Structure 1
Amino acid sequence: MHSAFRQLEEKHLSAEVVKMLWSPRMDLIALANIHGEVLLHRLSWQRVWVLPVTTNETSKKVTALAWRPDGKALAVGYGSGQLLICDVENAEVLHTSSLNTAISCMQWTDVSEKLLGESVRLDFEDSASTYLPRFPAPSKSYSALSKIYKEDNAEDAKKLDGQERLNILVVGCDGSNVHLLAFGICPIVVIDLSKITDTQVSRVVGASLSRDLKSLHMVVEQAAEMPASTGSENKYDVNFITYGTPVLADRHQEIALFALKYGTITTLTEYLNNTLKAMSEAYEDILLEMESKLAKYAETKFTPGTVSDDFLQLLMWGKCSQELQSFLLHELSEKGLKKMGLSVESSYTNIQKLVIKHVHSIGKALLYHLSEVKGMSLWFEKYAVIGLSTTQIEGAMTAVGSFILKANELLQVIEISLQNFKAFFRWIYVIILRLSEETIPPEISKMTQKDVTFVAEFLKENLQNDKESIKKGSGFSLERVGQYLKREDLSFPQEVLENPWQQFVDSCPNLRDSKLLFRHHANKSLYQLFDALEQEVKSVLSKPATVIGEGLKKEESSYLLYQTVCHQDDKKIFTPAITQQTMEESGTLYTILTTEKSPTDKVYMIRKSTQSDSVASVLEVCFGMLGESSANDSTVSYRCMQHKVLDVQFYDEATLSVLLHEDSSDGDNFSVLAHLPVSSFTEKSYQPLAGCKPQLLGAKVLQTNDLGPSVSQYRRLQNMKASYFAVSGNRRVSCVMFSSGRRVRVFDMDAEDEGGGDVDDNDDDDEDDKDSKDSENMDS
């Protein structure tokens, strides 16, 4: 049907686009350009947001895109190995994973209720909201928290609420690793293909998990042996590998519940990390100025004794040397002292609030959720396959407890420092007013014995000028709070020997070695204990991926599909067009791919049932004349007897979309957008894939099937040199990219063009040629 598909938009793009993908639920399309930016557009081509390049790498490239099945999150894979999960509403990065090697392909699979039954729905109630208070709303004064956590989404920062069934993101990488992440964030399987292949795997070209979670189908490149004379070429064997994943199908409920716990615990640790950043943000180095002034005073004073001696004499006898008097009046000054006192009090109070409101509540929530994961590990019949280690979980809980103890210690240090600082600053302020012969307010003129004690304690702790403080650099140590916010041992740890509880624990071996008591690390800072906590939690949460991955089994030997040769001076490595889809009616996963650079004469369809004893089969397809030929039907494409394939994708489960290149007899070149039903691939045309080995796909052993007559709908895209496209059966739309990569046409696939086709416009053709030349110049 020549006039099928109605054109909606034709738009120019500011930069060359390398990836496109439609949302499965909304009229949104994600675009990735050569600069590493990801753009989200509506069907009307209104821009929703732009995700900028996340690092300073100018060559950072987006290599894969994948939508979460509910359309509320977008996965973005980079050549650096970084994987981002972004919120569709505002481009907020919900989760970041580092996979170490470049990401080559991604596909996000949801569990089929039709294939696995109603048991796929998650039927559980998280009791955390009953026993735990809500996350405290982050204050706008702390940018580390307020920029990341909004008032209503702190608990659901990963956007996992409302997930009714398990969905899994399959990520293939350059090298030998394939990662499966539940809900896109929780690693549940890591497969190292190098352990089961004889040669080194260089790249995973395509990977898809069947919707019944029973099998994983992969297309991988492996280095082939080359003769010594061809040193400038690299030869690769492209193989089709199938993994049986029945453990995912059998334990999908348990994996889903663990993944949700993973999301909650990861959110809590990230919240703690950002809270520590907010504490560092609230901390001010104002006291370093006073330390430097005291150090300068100590170096220039001529009278015998230390700085502490001078202040003690002033405290006990009210005598002040000329040097100290000059220091108080000119170096510290009344104005400087007031400013310093307010800054210290404000800084300490803000840190105190963050510890009480955020660190305590998040730490307790972490202990609660880790306890639930520990309960999972003890339920051996259901969760043994996940590989949770009770001992590791207990270690993580101990690390959280030690972190909370250190946070309580910081509160004590802040409380003591505040009362000592207030007493010292008030006393010095009175002295400066007296030396300046100014009126002293009656409310601060008198000092109680307690105030004298606080001042004496301050002088003893901070102005001793001992060896430790000299090593520090200034010779003094006024700051005892800031040391807790550094990744180094405490310079001045708190004395705990006189603590009655600590003495009792040390005297009782059973308590000293008990796992029920959290260990106190006297010399460690708060940041050091957080790093230990984070490492312990990562060890607990990452183990299931290794255990489940090792439990998967390879069903059969890899099938050699084709061979490709890459010259070392080639800038781009050939990547086949590949699309994969699970057919729910038959429980079969189809893989369609090309074996040559586009435009190519043939494509190959590989099918394999998800049953473990099934045999993979292959079908070779070409496209001759489009549409059925009859005397009364004028829809047949007489202009071209053979079409070449530019790109191929599944439109939906029942329909395949192909982007074709047409060389007409009159010399005009056209691109064709076409539909054909999957049912047109007849059963008898398939041949066992194993029978093609050692021959390659495309050898004479395979019979070519012309599916041109089976094309149900098509449209010539006049004045357009197309390169690739993105289609969505759910949204009934298609977006076709020009060969320049800087211009697109959008089509409504569920409506016919009222105008009966494209309008011939020479200006469009000239513009496309210009874009193509610009693109070629950019590539060069």
Structure 2
Amino acid sequence: MSSVCEDELRQSFSTLHQITLAAPVRHELFSWCPVMDLLTFSPDLRSLWLYRMTGELIWKFSLPEPTVLISCIAWKPDGTVLALGCSDGTVRLCTTVDGKMIHKISLRRSLACLRWTVESLDTLRSRNNELFEGVFSFDVTSILPRLSPLPSLLSTDSLYIGKTTVDNLLNAPIQHEKPSRIDMLVSGEDNGNIVFSIYGNFSIGDLPFPKRLTQLLPLEQVSTDDLSFHGFITKTRTDDILLVPLRVHFIRRFGSDLDQIAMSSTRVPALLSFVSDVLEIIHREWNVNILKPMNTLLQSLCTAVSTSNPRGTLMELLIFGVARGRMKTWMTEQYPERVIKAWRKGAVGSYENCRKLLVESLIPACERIGILISRINGLAEWRDRGQHLGLSPETCKSMLDILKEIMIGAHRMLRDLNLEYDNYKSFIQWVKYMYDQTMGTALKDEEKNISIDTSKVSDYITKNMSSPVINMYFSTAPKPTDYKSTKPINLRNLAQQLEEKCHEVFKDAADRMRGHAVFGSPLTIKAACDVDNLKVVSRIIQPNEDVVYMIVVMCINSKKDEILLLRISVSQVPSELMSPMINVLRVKIVNEEIISLFFVDDSKLMVLLRPLTDMDYTSRMVTLEFQDLFTISSVVDATNISTDLYDMIEQVPQVEPSWAQVKKFDDDFIPAQITLNGRKGRRVGCVLAQDMQRYRVFDLDEEEEQEEDIEGGADEI
């Protein structure tokens, strides 16, 4: 690479915008969306702001728990979802559209590292799924009614009161026209466990680092295009920096079946959670607007007429048709017309809501669950595929049996609810008629022709008041065997049993996947490192399908005079993982502190520098075309390292940097952190000022004009 005098370089990176935020932010969660011009900021690590690069606020998200902090974030590769790793051991997935949380993964420990990777299109095409490509091509759920958000009045704690969540988790198609690329959310816990979540939802459980190593803290993670190799930069308790390789075999082994398992493992639990919420809302609706007013009526009647059998008293009134004495006083004074109207309005609305929830929410959700479980059961029954997937046909059939009982119970409840509602309407008409007769109120014209079915009034008093329909479906009792059965059934218990079976099925599949993940021998890069001043980034580069490199760029001490670049060959032999022959570059840095490192693409590295002494300029942002430099790199054999790799490479001579691009900053804007999107055809970056309140957006490829016109320079939002 030819050297270019910096004085001859024009100012690179044309400035597009300069924005002043409403408040200072933290640099830890400063990130750029991989496909859209969106930026994340956090003022306090408890909340997250999403901005357009032009300074327009899109949404704010805050954690509901006052003591929980956001420790790391990761964008889904398509930019539609943002994962938040939190100090309570949860990963919360929020949509980019409105910031609503659509899923939560519960881990055990605080998150130290979070990355979201996706397989390449070439890898997708090469996966051996042509033979079975059409097996799951028809999406039966596409012809089913769409599920609607739950009413918020009695379900404020439900995840499914928002349309975005319902559409993303419940109504999204279960089969795409073309095979989809597998993406993987990789979470590193602060106790040294790695957790893979397929599509950000299906967690395969903990992958602990090898026991021969001390407890490791993941700092950085990269993966190959086919997601078969993962490299982790980690820190030990003694501040040793290690590179730990991991080989993952289950993606290619499971093939297209992984789509079905991962998708179903998310959709089925979400639908079961939806079913549980529907049952809870029905129960609350009933208790608040039907059962409570009815019990109030009966208690009031007991007190007024001094009886322990209020239903018998009402039957006497129905038979004789005249209210006398205390009964008359109760009807005219303690239970006036306004109370009757309020009860009728609330009860009628609740009956309608319960029926609507059954018809439009519970039963359709169960139909979707049945389709998904049947698909998984089909894979389990398929001997050549189900066995290596870890799926149990017996457990799947058990799930279908429980679902059948829930469906029977739901249809029975709907039938019985309609009958009770019909009885209630006759009963409340009769109560109104008796009140008008007792008060001597003349009937309105529309009321004169209304006939009251006294048999239904009698059924409501003797049957429904003593044993409401709701009790039959929320009580602990034997299970029904058919639709015509009148035995009680507890739908909530059945839903819980189904959730437990669902967990069992997908846990077996996750266990089988973990068996196809193997860690390799670690490489100690630097022992007893000054972690506080450590800067490290890594990237996987694949020039062709036969050559794979892992590039590690480190600054062991940000105030030391060099940047260390390592190029490690990823072996195609599963047992070896990494080649011991490592290309090493030591790039000389003079009188400058390294503030930040960031890969622009597979050949260019961006470095943010700040002078250590008074110089004729302040901070600057430069790019280094490192691929060309590796042609003059030294090769180190890491087979027999006594202490660490760094001791072996200190004898490697430093090389002078030849910056491809340079951007100098004036004293008014001292940069503190950079982030880039690196997207081809739209490569832009953002630099955050030291005051943590201003940022500049720049073009990575355009040179800056001599007279710069910065858009939005004085705007505050």
TM-score by length of 2: 0.84
Higher relative contact order (CA 8 A, sep 6+): 2
Which of 174, 187, 197 is the equivalent residue of 1:171? 187
CA deviation map 1:661-691 (0-9, x unaligned): 3335648642433232323123751323444
Asked if structure 2 preserves the Cα contact closer than 8 Å seen for 1:138 and 1:149, the reply is no
Q: For residues 657-672 of structure 1, what are the structure 2 equivalents within 5 Å?
A: 657-663=606-612, 666=615, 669-672=618-621
Which secondary structure state, in structure 2, belongs to the residue aligned with residue 170 of structure 1? strand
Match of 1:119 among 119, 127, 130: 127
1:16 maps to: 25
Provide the residue aligned with 1:330 in structure 2: 333
Map of 2:702 onto structure 1: 751
Q: SS of the counterpart of 2:63?
A: coil
What is the match of residue 299 of structure 2? 295
Partner of 2:114: 106
The one-letter amino acid paired with 1:176 is G
Tell me how far 1:202 sits from its aligned partner. 4.8
What does residue 213 of structure 1 align with? 227
d(CA) in 1 for partners of 2:523 and 2:266?
A: 35
Unaligned runs of 5+ in 2: 1-8
Indicate which of 83, 86, 97 corresponds to 2:91. Answer: 83
Q: Name the count of aligned residue pairs.
A: 685
Which whole-Å CA distance do the structure 1 matches of 2:63 and 2:411 have between them? Answer: 36
Q: Aligned in 2, Cα 1:63/1:121: closer, same or farther, shift over 3 Å?
A: farther
Question: Equivalents in 1 of 2:349, 2:631: separation in Å?
Answer: 77
- Going from structure 1 to structure 2, the CA distance change for 1:293 and 1:113 (only over 3 Å counts) comes to closer
Deviation at 1:299, TM superposition (A): 3.9
Q: Quick one: which of 467, 470, 485 aligns to 1:481?
A: 470
SS of 2:419's equivalent in the other structure is helix
Alpha-carbon distance, 1:363 to partner: 0.6
1:751 positional shift: 0.9
Q: 1:346 & 1:330 partners in 2: Cα distance?
A: 26
Shift of 1:151: 9.6
Q: 1:582 aligns with which of 541, 554, 573?
A: 541
Identify which of 354, 360, 382 aligns with 1:357.
360
Distance 1:200 1:158, change over 3 A: farther
Inter-partner Cα distance in structure 2 for 1:500 and 1:530: 18
Residues 501 and 52 from structure 1, CA distance in 2 versus in 1: closer, same or farther, beyond 3 angstroms?
closer
Q: Aligned partners of 1:187 and 1:583: how far apart in 2? A: 28
Aligned to 2:475: 490
Does the aligned pair in 2 maintain the 1:717–1:758 contact within 8 Å? no
How has the CA–CA distance of structure 1 residues 324 and 188 changed in structure 2, closer, same or farther, with 3 Å as cutoff?
Answer: same
Query: Structure 1 residue 675 and structure 2 residue 612: aligned?
Result: no
- 1:601-636 CA distance string (max 9 Å, x none): 4435352414233424555554436xxxxxxxxxxx
Map 1:617-766 onto structure 2 (within 5 A): 617-618=581-582, 621-624=585-588, 641-663=590-612, 666=615, 669-682=618-631, 684-691=633-640, 693-699=641-647, 701-704=649-652, 706-719=654-667, 720-730=669-679, 731-755=682-706
Distance 1:127 1:169 in 2: 26
Contact (CA 8 Å) 2:141, 2:368: kept in 1 or not?
no
**How far is the alpha carbon of 1:755 from its aligned partner?**
1.8
Q: Deviations over 1:22-71 (max 9, x none)?
A: 22222223334424322233333333x224113132x4332222222223
Shift, 1:137, TM fit? 5.5
Q: Answer yes or no: is the 8 Å Cα contact 1:660–1:674 preserved in 2.
A: no
Residues 557-579 of structure 1 deviation map (CA, whole Å, 9 limit, x = unaligned): 5546432478xxxxxx7774333
Alignment of 1:547 with 2:506, yes or no, is: no
CA contact (8 A) 2:87 2:110 kept: yes
* Separation of aligned partners in 1, 2:495 and 2:558: 51
1:3 maps to amino acid: Q
Q: Secondary structure at the match of 2:77?
A: coil
Take 2:138 and 2:402, find their aligned partners in 1: how far apart are those partners? 21
- Contact residue 592 and residue 603 of structure 1 kept, 8 A: yes
Look up the SS of the partner of 1:74 in the other structure. strand
Give the aligned residue type for 2:344: G
1:453 counterpart = 2:417: no
| Structure 2 Cα separation of the partners of residues 167 and 74 of structure 1 | 13
SS in 1 for 2:256: helix
String of CA shifts for 1:62-113, please: whole Å, max 9, x gaps: 2222222223333222222222333333334333222232222222222134
**2:643 counterpart SS class:** coil
CA displacement at 1:650 relative to structure 2: 1.5
Asked if 2 retains the 8 angstrom alpha-carbon contact of 1:604 and 1:618, the reply is: no
More displaced 10-residue stretch of structure 1: 653-662 or 277-286? 277-286
Contact 2:554 2:563 survives alignment (8 Å): no
Equivalent-residue separation in structure 2 for 1:604 and 1:482 (angstroms) = 70
Determine if contact 1:657/1:674 at 8 Å carries over to the other structure. yes
> Relative to structure 1, is the Cα distance of residues 606 and 34 closer, same or farther in structure 2, using a 3 angstrom cutoff?
farther
Structure 1 residues 529-579: Cα deviation after superposition (integer angstroms, max 9, x where no partner): 32332332233234322221123222325546432478xxxxxx7774333
1:716 Cα offset (Å): 2.3
* Distance in 1 (alpha carbons) for counterparts of 2:485 and 2:282: 28
Superposition pairs of residues 43-442 of structure 1, within 5 angstroms: 43-47=53-57, 49-57=58-66, 59-114=67-122, 117-119=125-127, 123-124=133-134, 126=136, 129-130=139-140, 133-136=143-146, 138=148, 147-149=162-164, 156-157=171-172, 164-188=180-204, 190-193=206-209, 196-223=210-237, 235-276=238-279, 279=282, 282-283=285-286, 285-287=288-290, 288-299=292-303, 301-302=305-306, 306-318=309-321, 320-440=323-443
**2-structure distance, mates of 1:495, 1:704:** 76
User: What is the match of residue 535 of structure 1?
Assistant: 500
Q: Is the 8 A contact 1:715 1:757 kept in 2?
A: no
Q: Is the CA contact (8 Å cut-off) linking 2:204 and 2:513 kept in structure 1?
A: yes
Partner Cα separation in structure 2 for residue 552 and residue 396 of structure 1: 29
Q: Please give the secondary structure, in 2, of the residue aligned with 1:682.
A: helix
Q: Which residue of 2 aligns with 1:227?
A: none
Preserved contact between residue 279 and residue 354 of structure 1 (Cα < 8 Å): yes
Verify the 8 A CA contact 2:561 2:588 in the aligned structure 1: no
Name the aligned partner's letter for residue 246 of structure 1: H
- Structure 1: which amino acid aligns with 2:163? I
SS of structure 2 residue aligned to 1:76: strand
Contact 1:114 1:584 in 2 (8 A): no
**SS of structure 2 residue aligned to 1:402:** helix
Q: Percent identity?
A: 16
Question: Do the aligned residues in 1 keep the contact of 2:38 with 2:52 (CA within 8 Å)?
Answer: yes
Which letter does structure 1 place at the counterpart of 2:104? T
Could you tell me how far 1:421 is from its partner in structure 2?
Answer: 1.7
Structure 2 CA distance for partners of 1:201 and 1:50, relative to 1, 3 Å: farther
Aligned equivalents of 2:687 and 2:128: distance in 1?
36
Residue identity in the other structure for 2:568: R
* Alignment match, 1:615: 579
Q: Secondary structure at the match of 1:201?
A: coil
Please tell me whether residue 6 in structure 1 is matched to residue 8 in structure 2: no
Could you say what secondary structure the match of 1:367 adopts? helix
Q: SS where residue 341 of structure 1 aligns?
A: helix
CA distance in 2, matches of 1:416, 1:620: 81
Change over 3 Å in CA distance of 1:500–1:89 after alignment to 2: closer
- 8 Å contact kept, 1:647–1:725: yes
**Alpha carbons of 1:655 and 1:98: their partners in 2 closer, same or farther (altered >3 Å)?**
same
Structure 1 stretches of 5 or more lacking a match?
A: 224-234, 465-476, 504-519, 567-572, 626-640, 765-780
Would the alpha carbon gap of residues 37 and 582 (structure 1) be closer, same or farther in structure 2, given more than 3 Å must change? farther
Preserved contact between residue 718 and residue 758 of structure 1 (Cα < 8 Å): no
Following the alignment from structure 2 to structure 1, what is the Cα–Cα distance between the partners of residues 56 and 222? 32
Deviation digits for residues 311-361 of structure 1 (CA, Å, limit 9, x no counterpart): 222222345441221112222222321331232122112211221222112
